[in-house]
Structure 1
Amino acid sequence: MFQDVYDVIVVGAGHAGSEAAAAAANLGSKTLLVTMSLQNIAQMSCNPAMGGIAKGQIVREIDALGGYSGIVSDKTGIQFKMLNKSKGPAMWSPRVQSDRMRFAEEWRLMLERTPNLDFYQEMVSGLLIENGKVRGVRTSLGIEIRGRAVVLTNGTFLNGLIHIGEKQFGGGRAGESASFGITEDLVRAGFESGRMKTGTPPRVDGRSLDYSKMNEEKGDARPDKFSYSDETRPLERQKSCWMTYTSNDVHDILREGFDRSPMFNGRIKSLGPRYCPSIEDKINRFADKERHQLFIEPEGWDTVEVYVNGFSTSLPEDVQYKALKSVAGFENVKFFRPGYAIEYDYFPPTQLKHTLETKLVENLYFAGQINGTTGYEEAASQGLMAGINAHLKIHEKDPLVLRRDEAYIGVLIDDLITKGTEEPYRMFTSRAEYRTLLRQDNADFRLTPKSFEIGLASESRMRRMEHKFAEAEKMVQFFRTTSVSVAEMNPILESKDSAPIIQSDKLFKLLSRPQVDLDDLMTVESVATYINEHQPDREILEQAEVQVKYAGYIERERNNADKLTRLEDVKIPDSFDYDKVRSMSIEARQKLKHIRPVTISQASRISGVSPSDISVLLIHMGR
């Protein structure tokens, strides 16, 4: 029925599990993906979209490393937007509205085409742990499946409890049962567990909405895409989203149901995502606001189902319905299903190493919401890294750990391991101190060589990246060395309200001006000639322009990152005895003993560890 011993067993087939299984299998590990429902692989449990602020950068990084999320998003998108284009490129974030059904279908088909990957549908109810090492899993039918490494990606299913008003029932998401047994096994093994909450809005029938009362939200006129590969193309047609608003009348109706809300009457005790609050939380915390935005998002090309983004709620279904009917355009709304909240078990991620392997049980990895994160993109990136590192560990190869100056994925995992989280963790650009280095346009430069080295990114991916890098560098050098005359440049500068030049100047210096962009220079004869001769594609043009316009910022951040990297190279021995460092604060000793950072740099980022504690630590290490 099964292979005698799998290299890697992945439990759960959400975004984390799907990426983990694909990565391990593509690297050559014989992999088994176990899920409670093969019909719901990579299901978009909440909003039908990928990317967004900081999250879009993560999807680009997953793609640069050889993951599938970017390709699937491109193939199943219905609208593309590059967010924050009015700001600097460090803030630009791609986002795609997805066809929910086709997204899950494409993921399943890609996984089924992946060599070395087997599937099995059943609930995993326990772990096989012997002498501090995981040996496999046990299913609800009592079947024991052996594996050299196990990756847990259980999402919201571990002892999941769904709330709709006064009603509550077990479930991992609407229409699917919760998972039982794994938490209890892990707690018996010494793990600390906790509870978190998330929620989702109602889904409604788009035919019952009056879009004439809403604002139309179109995609980009020139849509881009996520994947750096030639496997996908930008969207040729797009579907609009819509925007409307709540009102004081809507808020008053919602308040009437607060006494029946599990959020306010004490039935929900766990913390939900701070940056994606429920509608009842929003009108309670921001009582002075007369209205809140609602984004009306179609769930696909052909379905009439619509997602009401911004109306996440666990209020009783009759209150949800009455309140939504008072929203402009929703007067005749018909529900497909009400919104709900869900509580589930998670495991504080300070119990993990930076590879996402647990400290307590060897070869056991956690990825996704089990680590306290929220969001498809955050989950997928952890799954990818857990799948990679599980493969590398059992094949006795060096792990792949990304630094904070190398990837948003590195920031995410480092934050989880060194700081932990007591509320669902969501990625923002502000969490990355080197965000000018970690742009969405250069993820392939940063990460494809690392993935190619371990055997995940393909030869064609690597060669494509090298070509793009060389051509962008060549173009930047052209701007550095080519001058333009006063007569040719000043009319352009005057049209852009930029100060004229009094003598010929280098194109590099002129393109560095905030008012001037590359399109403005296309009429300059030397630029037009270069473009005509070299035929650079859109990616190369964008890359060259960003490197010119932000050269000073990039260099400054690179220098700062290099200084920090020196501390990353200072390793702390596994056996280091913090109790002997008496001049260190008690809090610092306790935190360092609990988290056991691998390097001085990681130690410096732990909450409660001060610069003076780090100085003392360095002295005791003989530095």
Structure 2
Amino acid sequence: MTYIAESIDIAVIGGGHAGCEAALAAARMGKKTIMFTMSLDSIGMMPCNPNVGGTSKGHLVREIDALGGEMGKNIDKTFIQSRMLNTAKGPAVHSLRAQADKKRYTDEMKKVLENTPNLMIKQQEIVEILVEEGKVVGVVTNKGAQYICKAIVLASGTYLKSRCLTGECIEYTGPNGLKSSSDLSENLKALGIELRRFKTGTPARVDARTVDFSKMEPQYGDEHIVPFSFENKEADIKRDQYPCYLTYTNERTHQIIRDNLHRSPMYSGVIEGTGPRYCPSIEDKVVRFADKDRHQVFLEPEGEDTTEMYVQGMSSSLPEEVQLEMLRSIAGLENVEVMRTGYAIEYDCLNPLELKHSLEFKHIEGFFSGGQMNGSSGYEEAACQGLIAGINAALKVDGREPLIIDRSEAYIGVLIDDLVTKGTREPYRMLTSRAEYRLLLRQDNADLRLTEKGHEVGLISDERYNRFLEKRKAIDTELERLKNTYVGTSQKVQEIIAAKESTPLRSGIALCELLKRPELSYEDFKEVDDTRPELPEEVIEQVMIELKYEGYISRQLKQVEQFKKLEKKRIPDDINYDDVYSLRLEAKQKLEAVRPVSIGQASRISGVSPADISVLLVYLEQRRNRN
């Protein structure tokens, strides 16, 4: 028997990284919001790797911050090591990665949620989504409480019909032994939502007191700390850092794994779900890369007040005793003790082709979905989807147009477009190679790309927005000054150039042209640049990137212009692809399944060829002429 408990604006189902961002966004936009979670102790939990960011993922976190999300601020409060990755390459692939104190990360996120106006948190399991005439009207808990609402964000992560597998041992639980959710899966199916089984996994946690670090290579954090949040400066967050350690598997490790493959749920046929291609288990690595005689293993601290260490690179679902044997075959781990055994987790998720770019279901109004439920993997991928779903749920309640971020504007746009246009048959992970305009979508300029949008929806304060405008103006002003500042062939200038083994000047030159040379930097000409203003480091960074990559940036901007033209060619909602007679059958089926909103989106659907797009363009032109 159900009873009406409360009437609210937005219900968020799940308290993981997607649920936290969704709930905070909705509440901060003035909507009465409740976040339902299976456990108040698992809010913002990191059940797998204890870090935020990394290659391409660092871009997502800075974009979340630029839009007004919380993940960047929270990791800035709680990191125990910070490193900028890929610094030997160009700025497009520089990615910030921070090791987190897992418990503090959860505690700080919970504190922020609890102190956010308009937001209530409840430890309740949602078992039913109430839908009337194709529109959500409420949710029901397993205790019979009914909450009337105007919009819902589904952010259930890996909890739906989840089961954890370690060898022959199968436990019907969520991550870290938490309760799984079964009834909601059946309800979603009854609503006509297609579910599929995915799988991911996590390695063992070991006791640092039983590790011989002298046999490993220490990995230290950066001396110069770059914050994730654009609201922080280095001085605000600089602190003592903890080292990680690098060691390697060996032939003995690999033989132990090969001898026990028949006991791995993945190879014995017990696991039904599809695993992540880009984060394979150690069993997968040994089988797929049989020619490799070793694999990297990183020992990463899980926090300041614990001896638990995460064994990065050793994700496994082998039996407990086999995991211990293979770990003890590795240098530095000969006497290691396992505190938590690794496991694989299998769970229900949906087909993201059922979603619009706003992350609203196509056939259920007011119902949004974000995070691993959409077939993605990773905290950062989940958080950015939760943020967009929460923003759009709030905009929906207000009767406003949704926030759609396209592929040319952010990695977030690439991720969502990939999911809702191409779908995924395995847990989706963000990669820099997926972003065709990655020189424009750098992590360093995420604020320049997205702060305006965050302010428009109400998540960026006027104070922060004004600071952003000042920064943008400072960049433009300095670029213009450098174009109009000339240096001659004085002895001092030639000495500066010679010191950097650069070609000597034959005549005077604009400073902006001189700074385009890769070997010369802004600081080199400080003594001879009399009109140079005092500028923040972040402004100088943007000025230098704009100058040194001007040609490449200009080329990508032209590509974006062409991309935008195709995105503006809208496809009518009522189109019947069977009426497009010259369209191939496969193209008709794929177009009907996705129902793209533009020619640009249609062109990115797998199985739709350039010839099909030409046919579609001709049809749309003929249709317009008839009307």
Note if 1:545 corresponds to 2:547: no
* Alpha-carbon separation, structure 1, partners of 2:166 and 2:522: 53
- CA change 1:231–1:151 in 2 (3 A) is farther
User: What is the aligned counterpart of 2:483 among 459, 480, 483?
Assistant: 480
* Alpha-carbon separation, structure 1, partners of 2:471 and 2:488: 29
Give the equivalent residue in structure 2 for 1:347: 350
| Alpha-carbon distance, 1:253 to partner | 1.4
Note if 1:271 corresponds to 2:270: no
* Alpha-carbon separation, structure 2, partners of 1:154 and 1:231: 34
Between 332-341 and 469-478, the greater mean CA deviation after superposition: 469-478
- CA change 1:234–1:505 in 2 (3 A) is farther
Note if 1:186 corresponds to 2:209: no
Query: What is the one-letter code of the residue matched to 1:207?
Result: R
* Alpha-carbon separation, structure 2, partners of 1:73 and 1:251: 35
User: What is the aligned counterpart of 1:491 among 484, 495, 510?
Assistant: 495
1:468-495 Cα shifts (integer Å, max 9, x gaps): 1111122222222222233233323333
Give the equivalent residue in structure 1 for 2:28: 26
Contact kept? 1:224, 1:234, Cα under 8 Å = no
* Alpha-carbon separation, structure 1, partners of 2:484 and 2:88: 29
Query: What is the one-letter code of the residue matched to 2:372?
Result: Q
Contact kept? 1:78, 1:235, Cα under 8 Å = no
- CA change 1:174–1:236 in 2 (3 A) is closer
| Alpha-carbon distance, 1:230 to partner | 4.1
Give the equivalent residue in structure 2 for 1:289: 292
Give the equivalent residue in structure 2 for 1:74: 76
* Alpha-carbon separation, structure 1, partners of 2:612 and 2:459: 40
* Alpha-carbon separation, structure 2, partners of 1:498 and 1:79: 37
* Alpha-carbon separation, structure 1, partners of 2:503 and 2:233: 44
Query: What is the one-letter code of the residue matched to 1:337?
Result: R
Note if 1:236 corresponds to 2:235: no
Give the equivalent residue in structure 1 for 2:444: 441
* Alpha-carbon separation, structure 2, partners of 1:358 and 1:240: 44
Give the equivalent residue in structure 2 for 1:262: 265
Note if 1:375 corresponds to 2:378: yes
Contact kept? 1:51, 1:57, Cα under 8 Å = yes
* Alpha-carbon separation, structure 2, partners of 1:505 and 1:218: 42
Give the equivalent residue in structure 2 for 1:422: 425
Any idea what SS the aligned residue of 2:111 has?
helix
Give the equivalent residue in structure 2 for 1:330: 333
- CA change 1:585–1:483 in 2 (3 A) is same
Give the equivalent residue in structure 1 for 2:37: 35
The TM-score, its normalising length taken from structure 1, stands at: 0.97
Give the equivalent residue in structure 2 for 1:172: 174
Give the equivalent residue in structure 1 for 2:106: 104
Contact kept? 2:493, 2:528, Cα under 8 Å = no
Query: What is the one-letter code of the residue matched to 1:21?
Result: A
Give the equivalent residue in structure 2 for 1:614: 613
1:136-159 Cα shifts (integer Å, max 9, x gaps): 111111221111111111111000
* Alpha-carbon separation, structure 1, partners of 2:71 and 2:150: 26
* Alpha-carbon separation, structure 2, partners of 1:411 and 1:138: 34
| Alpha-carbon distance, 1:3 to partner | 6.6
Note if 1:408 corresponds to 2:411: yes
* Alpha-carbon separation, structure 1, partners of 2:221 and 2:510: 36
| Alpha-carbon distance, 1:433 to partner | 0.6
Contact kept? 2:5, 2:146, Cα under 8 Å = no
Any idea what SS the aligned residue of 1:607 has?
coil
Structure 2, gaps ≥5 residues long: none
Give the equivalent residue in structure 2 for 1:507: 511
* Alpha-carbon separation, structure 2, partners of 1:52 and 1:266: 33
Give the equivalent residue in structure 2 for 1:535: 534
* Alpha-carbon separation, structure 2, partners of 1:541 and 1:237: 27
User: What is the aligned counterpart of 2:152 among 143, 150, 163?
Assistant: 150
Give the equivalent residue in structure 2 for 1:581: 580
| Alpha-carbon distance, 1:359 to partner | 1.1
Structure 1, gaps ≥5 residues long: none
* Alpha-carbon separation, structure 2, partners of 1:410 and 1:295: 32
* Alpha-carbon separation, structure 2, partners of 1:50 and 1:314: 24
Write the mapping of 1:50-65 to structure 2, written as runs, cut at 5 A: 50-65=52-67
How much is the aligned-residue C-alpha RMSD, in angstroms? 1.4
Give the equivalent residue in structure 1 for 2:162: 160
Query: What is the one-letter code of the residue matched to 2:437?
Result: Y
1:432-462 Cα shifts (integer Å, max 9, x gaps): 0100111111111111111111212111221
- CA change 1:473–1:324 in 2 (3 A) is same
Query: What is the one-letter code of the residue matched to 1:86?
Result: A
Contact kept? 2:247, 2:331, Cα under 8 Å = yes
| Alpha-carbon distance, 1:2 to partner | 7.8
1:82-115 Cα shifts (integer Å, max 9, x gaps): 1111111111111111110110011001111111
* Alpha-carbon separation, structure 1, partners of 2:196 and 2:232: 43
Note if 1:129 corresponds to 2:131: yes
Query: What is the one-letter code of the residue matched to 1:24?
Result: A
| Alpha-carbon distance, 1:352 to partner | 0.4
Query: What is the one-letter code of the residue matched to 1:520?
Result: D
Any idea what SS the aligned residue of 1:343 has?
strand
Contact kept? 1:165, 1:316, Cα under 8 Å = yes
| Alpha-carbon distance, 1:519 to partner | 3.5
Write the mapping of 1:190-209 to structure 2, written as runs, cut at 5 A: 190-209=192-211
Contact kept? 1:27, 1:455, Cα under 8 Å = yes
* Alpha-carbon separation, structure 1, partners of 2:437 and 2:316: 35
Any idea what SS the aligned residue of 1:591 has?
helix
* Alpha-carbon separation, structure 2, partners of 1:101 and 1:535: 41
The TM-score, its normalising length taken from structure 2, stands at: 0.96
Contact kept? 1:191, 1:360, Cα under 8 Å = no
